[in-house]
Structure 1
Amino acid sequence: MTIAVSAVVLLGTFVFLLWKYARLPLWQAAICAAFGYFLASSSIGPEIGDGLRALARFVAGLDL
């Protein structure tokens, strides 16, 4: 749950910065958000979540 919220905040911030500084039109940002919403509710949504959790575990395990 923490990973999902962190990813949502990170990606939301990224889209906001694109909208603000790269002049991403608001309608394109809305399409990005709708695509993410529908992708998460599709049958591939759980696999994407599992992949993100595995990536987070890998990054957390790195000894830097």
Structure 2
Amino acid sequence: MIVTASAVVLLAVIVVLLRSGRLHFGPGLAALLLGFCLASTGAAPTVNRFLVACASALSKLTA
């Protein structure tokens, strides 16, 4: 799998923010997942399937 420079930079920024305490784990994870979706890396289809599965599960819980 090829990792793009934008994915590396995004991950580095999120790690720095998490370690400094300015960003909590939940929002950090959301930002990381959104970053992978937007960057269209090789992991994007897997992340997209995961997000669709989560949304589907949540919609079934609230219905």
If the length of structure 2 is used for normalisation, what is the TM-score?
A: 0.47
User: Comparing both chains, which one has the higher relative contact order based on Cα–Cα distances under 8 Å and sequence gaps of 6 or more?
Assistant: 1
If the length of structure 1 is used for normalisation, what is the TM-score?
A: 0.47
